Amino acid sequence: MVRSMTGFGRGRASTEGASATVEIQSTNKRHLNIFVHLPDPLPEAESNVRMRMKEAFERGQFDVNVSAELSGSAPLPVEVDADAAMHRKQRLEKLAAAAEIEAPVRLDHLMEFDDIFAGEEEREAAKIQRAWPAVTQALDAAIDDLQAMRHEEGNALREDLEERTRAIDDHLDAIEARAPARVEERQAQLRERLHGLLDDEHLDPDRLETEIALLADKLDVTEECVRLHSHLKMFREALDADEPSGRKLKFITQEIHREANTIGAKADDEAISRQAVEMKEEIEKIKEQIRNVE
Protein backbone atom coordinates (compact mmCIF):
# COMPACT_ATOMS: atom_id res chain seq x y z
CA MET A 1 0.00 0.00 0.00
CA VAL A 2 1.35 3.39 -0.95
CA ARG A 3 -0.03 6.34 1.00
CA SER A 4 1.37 9.83 1.00
CA MET A 5 2.29 11.35 4.35
CA THR A 6 1.14 14.83 3.33
CA GLY A 7 -2.47 15.93 3.26
CA PHE A 8 -5.30 17.82 4.87
CA GLY A 9 -8.61 16.64 6.30
CA ARG A 10 -11.62 18.44 7.77
CA GLY A 11 -14.65 17.13 9.63
CA ARG A 12 -17.72 18.79 11.14
CA ALA A 13 -20.40 17.36 13.40
CA SER A 14 -23.25 18.49 15.64
CA THR A 15 -25.02 16.74 18.47
CA GLU A 16 -27.79 17.80 20.82
CA GLY A 17 -25.37 19.39 23.25
CA ALA A 18 -22.52 20.70 21.08
CA SER A 19 -21.00 21.26 17.65
CA ALA A 20 -17.38 20.61 16.65
CA THR A 21 -14.95 21.10 13.78
CA VAL A 22 -11.68 19.19 13.43
CA GLU A 23 -8.92 20.00 10.95
CA ILE A 24 -5.87 17.77 10.51
CA GLN A 25 -2.76 18.70 8.56
CA SER A 26 -0.11 16.04 7.98
CA THR A 27 3.47 16.26 6.72
CA ASN A 28 6.20 13.68 6.22
CA LYS A 29 8.13 12.59 9.28
CA ARG A 30 10.24 9.54 10.04
CA HIS A 31 8.21 8.68 13.14
CA LEU A 32 4.70 9.45 14.40
CA ASN A 33 4.38 12.93 15.91
CA ILE A 34 0.96 14.22 16.95
CA PHE A 35 0.23 17.77 18.13
CA VAL A 36 -3.29 18.35 19.46
CA HIS A 37 -4.84 21.79 19.92
CA LEU A 38 -8.04 21.73 21.97
CA PRO A 39 -10.46 24.44 23.17
CA ASP A 40 -11.10 25.21 26.84
CA PRO A 41 -14.01 22.78 27.32
CA LEU A 42 -11.87 19.81 26.30
CA PRO A 43 -8.46 19.97 28.02
CA GLU A 44 -8.75 16.40 29.26
CA ALA A 45 -9.60 14.91 25.85
CA GLU A 46 -6.11 15.11 24.33
CA SER A 47 -5.19 11.53 25.20
CA ASN A 48 -8.35 10.27 23.49
CA VAL A 49 -7.56 12.23 20.32
CA ARG A 50 -4.00 10.91 20.31
CA MET A 51 -5.21 7.34 20.72
CA ARG A 52 -7.58 7.67 17.76
CA MET A 53 -4.82 9.16 15.59
CA LYS A 54 -2.40 6.36 16.50
CA GLU A 55 -5.00 3.81 15.45
CA ALA A 56 -5.35 5.47 12.05
CA PHE A 57 -1.76 6.37 11.14
CA GLU A 58 1.72 4.89 11.48
CA ARG A 59 4.07 7.66 10.37
CA GLY A 60 4.04 11.39 9.81
CA GLN A 61 3.61 14.62 11.70
CA PHE A 62 0.04 15.67 12.46
CA ASP A 63 -1.41 18.95 13.66
CA VAL A 64 -4.93 18.34 14.98
CA ASN A 65 -6.99 21.48 15.57
CA VAL A 66 -10.28 21.04 17.41
CA SER A 67 -12.92 23.71 17.93
CA ALA A 68 -16.11 23.01 19.87
CA GLU A 69 -19.10 24.99 21.07
CA LEU A 70 -21.62 23.94 23.70
CA SER A 71 -25.23 24.50 22.79
CA GLY A 72 -28.49 24.47 24.72
CA SER A 73 -29.02 25.42 28.34
CA ALA A 74 -28.55 22.14 30.15
CA PRO A 75 -27.49 22.91 33.72
CA LEU A 76 -24.00 22.00 34.84
CA PRO A 77 -23.51 20.54 38.34
CA VAL A 78 -22.79 23.30 40.84
CA GLU A 79 -22.54 23.11 44.64
CA VAL A 80 -21.73 25.82 47.18
CA ASP A 81 -18.92 25.42 49.71
CA ALA A 82 -20.66 26.90 52.76
CA ASP A 83 -17.48 27.19 54.83
CA ALA A 84 -15.68 29.01 52.01
CA ALA A 85 -18.67 31.33 51.49
CA MET A 86 -18.83 32.19 55.21
CA HIS A 87 -15.09 32.81 55.33
CA ARG A 88 -15.31 35.20 52.37
CA LYS A 89 -18.26 37.02 53.93
CA GLN A 90 -16.40 37.54 57.19
CA ARG A 91 -13.34 38.84 55.37
CA LEU A 92 -15.46 41.31 53.40
CA GLU A 93 -17.22 42.49 56.58
CA LYS A 94 -13.87 42.97 58.31
CA LEU A 95 -12.60 44.92 55.30
CA ALA A 96 -15.74 47.08 55.29
CA ALA A 97 -15.34 47.81 59.00
CA ALA A 98 -11.70 48.78 58.52
CA ALA A 99 -12.72 51.15 55.73
CA GLU A 100 -15.66 52.45 57.78
CA ILE A 101 -18.14 51.33 55.12
CA GLU A 102 -21.59 50.55 56.49
CA ALA A 103 -23.03 48.85 53.40
CA PRO A 104 -23.83 45.17 53.97
CA VAL A 105 -22.16 42.29 52.13
CA ARG A 106 -24.44 41.17 49.29
CA LEU A 107 -24.66 37.95 47.28
CA ASP A 108 -23.20 39.52 44.17
CA HIS A 109 -20.07 40.36 46.19
CA LEU A 110 -19.58 36.71 47.06
CA MET A 111 -20.23 35.58 43.48
CA GLU A 112 -16.89 37.11 42.52
CA PHE A 113 -15.05 34.33 44.37
CA ASP A 114 -14.77 31.02 42.46
CA ASP A 115 -13.58 29.11 45.51
CA ILE A 116 -17.00 29.23 47.15
CA PHE A 117 -18.34 26.90 44.44
CA ALA A 118 -17.62 23.21 44.83
CA GLY A 119 -17.79 20.69 41.97
CA GLU A 120 -15.44 22.48 39.53
CA GLU A 121 -14.11 19.12 38.34
CA GLU A 122 -17.64 17.86 37.88
CA ARG A 123 -18.52 20.90 35.77
CA GLU A 124 -15.48 20.40 33.53
CA ALA A 125 -16.31 16.72 33.19
CA ALA A 126 -19.84 17.64 32.19
CA LYS A 127 -18.55 20.03 29.53
CA ILE A 128 -16.33 17.30 28.11
CA GLN A 129 -19.17 14.80 28.20
CA ARG A 130 -21.45 17.15 26.28
CA ALA A 131 -18.87 18.16 23.67
CA TRP A 132 -17.04 14.86 23.16
CA PRO A 133 -19.62 13.04 20.97
CA ALA A 134 -19.53 15.88 18.44
CA VAL A 135 -15.73 16.01 18.59
CA THR A 136 -15.51 12.24 18.04
CA GLN A 137 -17.72 12.39 14.97
CA ALA A 138 -15.84 15.39 13.56
CA LEU A 139 -12.49 13.72 14.27
CA ASP A 140 -13.53 10.52 12.47
CA ALA A 141 -14.75 12.55 9.50
CA ALA A 142 -11.49 14.51 9.38
CA ILE A 143 -9.43 11.31 9.53
CA ASP A 144 -11.47 9.78 6.69
CA ASP A 145 -11.03 12.96 4.64
CA LEU A 146 -7.29 12.98 5.28
CA GLN A 147 -6.96 9.27 4.51
CA ALA A 148 -8.70 9.77 1.17
CA MET A 149 -6.34 12.58 0.23
CA ARG A 150 -3.26 10.63 1.33
CA HIS A 151 -4.48 7.61 -0.63
CA GLU A 152 -5.05 9.70 -3.76
CA GLU A 153 -1.59 11.24 -3.54
CA GLY A 154 -0.21 7.77 -2.79
CA ASN A 155 -1.58 6.49 -6.08
CA ALA A 156 0.27 9.26 -7.91
CA LEU A 157 3.45 8.38 -6.00
CA ARG A 158 3.04 4.72 -6.88
CA GLU A 159 2.70 5.48 -10.59
CA ASP A 160 5.86 7.57 -10.49
CA LEU A 161 7.81 4.90 -8.58
CA GLU A 162 6.69 2.17 -10.97
CA GLU A 163 7.76 4.28 -13.94
CA ARG A 164 11.20 4.82 -12.42
CA THR A 165 11.69 1.12 -11.66
CA ARG A 166 10.84 0.39 -15.31
CA ALA A 167 13.50 2.90 -16.34
CA ILE A 168 16.03 1.14 -14.08
CA ASP A 169 15.03 -2.17 -15.70
CA ASP A 170 15.74 -0.70 -19.13
CA HIS A 171 19.20 0.51 -18.06
CA LEU A 172 19.89 -2.85 -16.45
CA ASP A 173 18.91 -4.70 -19.63
CA ALA A 174 21.29 -2.50 -21.61
CA ILE A 175 24.11 -3.25 -19.14
CA GLU A 176 23.49 -7.00 -19.32
CA ALA A 177 23.47 -6.86 -23.11
CA ARG A 178 26.78 -4.98 -23.19
CA ALA A 179 28.65 -6.73 -20.35
CA PRO A 180 29.73 -10.02 -22.09
CA ALA A 181 31.16 -8.21 -25.11
CA ARG A 182 32.99 -5.77 -22.86
CA VAL A 183 34.69 -8.67 -20.98
CA GLU A 184 35.73 -10.34 -24.22
CA GLU A 185 37.13 -7.07 -25.53
CA ARG A 186 39.23 -6.55 -22.41
CA GLN A 187 40.50 -10.12 -22.53
CA ALA A 188 41.56 -9.67 -26.16
CA GLN A 189 43.27 -6.37 -25.32
CA LEU A 190 45.17 -8.00 -22.46
CA ARG A 191 46.38 -10.87 -24.64
CA GLU A 192 47.53 -8.47 -27.32
CA ARG A 193 49.42 -6.27 -24.87
CA LEU A 194 51.12 -9.20 -23.14
CA HIS A 195 52.15 -10.78 -26.41
CA GLY A 196 53.60 -7.47 -27.49
CA LEU A 197 55.56 -6.98 -24.26
CA LEU A 198 56.86 -10.50 -23.66
CA ASP A 199 58.74 -12.91 -25.86
CA ASP A 200 56.66 -15.98 -26.62
CA GLU A 201 59.40 -18.24 -25.13
CA HIS A 202 59.04 -16.60 -21.73
CA LEU A 203 55.26 -16.41 -21.74
CA ASP A 204 53.52 -19.02 -19.61
CA PRO A 205 50.20 -19.77 -21.36
CA ASP A 206 48.63 -21.16 -18.19
CA ARG A 207 49.61 -18.09 -16.21
CA LEU A 208 48.27 -15.87 -18.96
CA GLU A 209 44.92 -17.62 -18.98
CA THR A 210 44.74 -17.41 -15.18
CA GLU A 211 45.31 -13.66 -15.27
CA ILE A 212 42.73 -13.29 -18.02
CA ALA A 213 40.24 -15.31 -15.99
CA LEU A 214 40.89 -13.11 -12.93
CA LEU A 215 40.37 -10.02 -15.04
CA ALA A 216 37.09 -11.38 -16.35
CA ASP A 217 35.95 -12.04 -12.77
CA LYS A 218 36.78 -8.48 -11.73
CA LEU A 219 34.84 -7.09 -14.67
CA ASP A 220 31.88 -9.45 -14.39
CA VAL A 221 28.72 -7.76 -13.11
CA THR A 222 26.42 -10.76 -13.46
CA GLU A 223 25.91 -11.21 -9.71
CA GLU A 224 25.19 -7.53 -9.22
CA CYS A 225 22.64 -7.58 -12.05
CA VAL A 226 20.93 -10.66 -10.62
CA ARG A 227 20.69 -9.06 -7.17
CA LEU A 228 19.45 -5.82 -8.68
CA HIS A 229 16.67 -7.68 -10.53
CA SER A 230 15.75 -9.32 -7.20
CA HIS A 231 15.67 -6.00 -5.36
CA LEU A 232 13.46 -4.45 -8.04
CA LYS A 233 11.07 -7.40 -7.70
CA MET A 234 10.92 -6.91 -3.91
CA PHE A 235 10.36 -3.18 -4.43
CA ARG A 236 7.31 -3.85 -6.60
CA GLU A 237 5.99 -6.41 -4.12
CA ALA A 238 6.27 -3.80 -1.36
CA LEU A 239 4.25 -1.39 -3.51
CA ASP A 240 1.49 -4.03 -3.70
CA ALA A 241 1.55 -4.92 0.01
CA ASP A 242 -1.55 -4.24 2.14
CA GLU A 243 0.37 -2.61 5.00
CA PRO A 244 2.18 0.76 4.86
CA SER A 245 5.48 0.15 3.08
CA GLY A 246 7.52 3.36 3.43
CA ARG A 247 10.23 1.92 5.70
CA LYS A 248 10.59 -1.24 3.62
CA LEU A 249 10.80 0.73 0.39
CA LYS A 250 13.54 2.87 1.90
CA PHE A 251 15.61 -0.18 2.85
CA ILE A 252 15.18 -1.84 -0.57
CA THR A 253 16.13 1.40 -2.32
CA GLN A 254 19.38 1.49 -0.33
CA GLU A 255 20.18 -2.03 -1.59
CA ILE A 256 19.33 -1.04 -5.18
CA HIS A 257 21.66 1.94 -4.88
CA ARG A 258 24.43 -0.27 -3.51
CA GLU A 259 24.27 -2.66 -6.50
CA ALA A 260 24.13 0.22 -8.99
CA ASN A 261 27.22 1.75 -7.38
CA THR A 262 29.09 -1.56 -7.63
CA ILE A 263 28.18 -1.96 -11.29
CA GLY A 264 29.40 1.54 -12.04
CA ALA A 265 32.65 0.97 -10.13
CA LYS A 266 33.37 -2.33 -11.93
CA ALA A 267 32.29 -1.13 -15.36
CA ASP A 268 35.54 0.14 -16.88
CA ASP A 269 33.40 0.79 -19.94
CA GLU A 270 31.90 4.02 -21.20
CA ALA A 271 28.58 2.54 -22.29
CA ILE A 272 28.01 0.66 -19.02
CA SER A 273 29.17 3.61 -16.92
CA ARG A 274 26.67 5.84 -18.69
CA GLN A 275 23.85 3.39 -18.03
CA ALA A 276 24.91 3.10 -14.37
CA VAL A 277 24.91 6.88 -13.95
CA GLU A 278 21.42 7.19 -15.46
CA MET A 279 20.27 4.33 -13.25
CA LYS A 280 21.54 6.13 -10.14
CA GLU A 281 19.76 9.30 -11.22
CA GLU A 282 16.48 7.38 -11.19
CA ILE A 283 17.35 5.91 -7.79
CA GLU A 284 17.94 9.37 -6.33
CA LYS A 285 14.51 10.43 -7.56
CA ILE A 286 13.01 7.31 -5.96
CA LYS A 287 14.71 8.17 -2.66
CA GLU A 288 13.19 11.63 -2.77
CA GLN A 289 9.70 10.27 -3.46
CA ILE A 290 9.66 7.56 -0.79
CA ARG A 291 10.46 10.14 1.90
CA ASN A 292 6.78 11.01 1.56
CA VAL A 293 5.47 7.41 1.66
CA GLU A 294 3.88 6.26 4.91
Average pLDDT over residues 46-73: 89
Element (H, E) at 10: strand 7-14
Residue 195 pLDDT level (bands cut at 50, 70, 90) = low
CB 146 within 8 A of CB 11: no
Q: Is the pLDDT score of 151 beyond 60? A: yes
Long-range contacts of 102-107 (CB under 8 A, 24+ apart): none
Give this prediction's pTM: 0.68
Q: Mapping DSSP to helix (H, G, I), strand (E, B) and coil, where does residue 21 land?
A: strand
User: What architecture (CATH level 2) is domain 7-72+123-151?
Assistant: 2-Layer Sandwich (3.30)
Q: Mapping DSSP to helix (H, G, I), strand (E, B) and coil, where does residue 250 land?
A: helix
Q: Where are the domains of the chain?
A: 7-72+123-151, 79-118, 153-290
> Residue 182: CB partners within 8 Å, gap ≥ 6?
219, 267, 268, 269, 271, 272
Give 99: exposed, middle or buried? Use CB within 10 Å, 0-12, 13-18, 19+: exposed
Edge-to-edge strands, sheet with 18-27 = 7-14, 18-27, 60-70, 32-37
CA angle (143, 160, 274) in 5-degree steps: 150
* pLDDT tens-digit map of 66-117: 998 887 655 555 566 677 778 878 888 888 788 878 888 887 777 777 666 6
Q: Mapping DSSP to helix (H, G, I), strand (E, B) and coil, where does residue 242 land?
A: coil
Average pLDDT over residues 23-46: 88
Please state, in angstroms and rounded to a whole number, the distance separating the CA atoms of residues 289 and 163.
12
Q: Mapping DSSP to helix (H, G, I), strand (E, B) and coil, where does residue 11 land?
A: strand
Please state, in angstroms and rounded to a whole number, the distance separating the CA atoms of residues 241 and 138.
30
C-alpha count within 13 angstroms, C-beta hemisphere, residue 187: 19
* 79-80 vs 117-118, strand pairing mode: antiparallel
Compute the mean pLDDT over every residue in the chain, rounded to the nearest whole number: 84
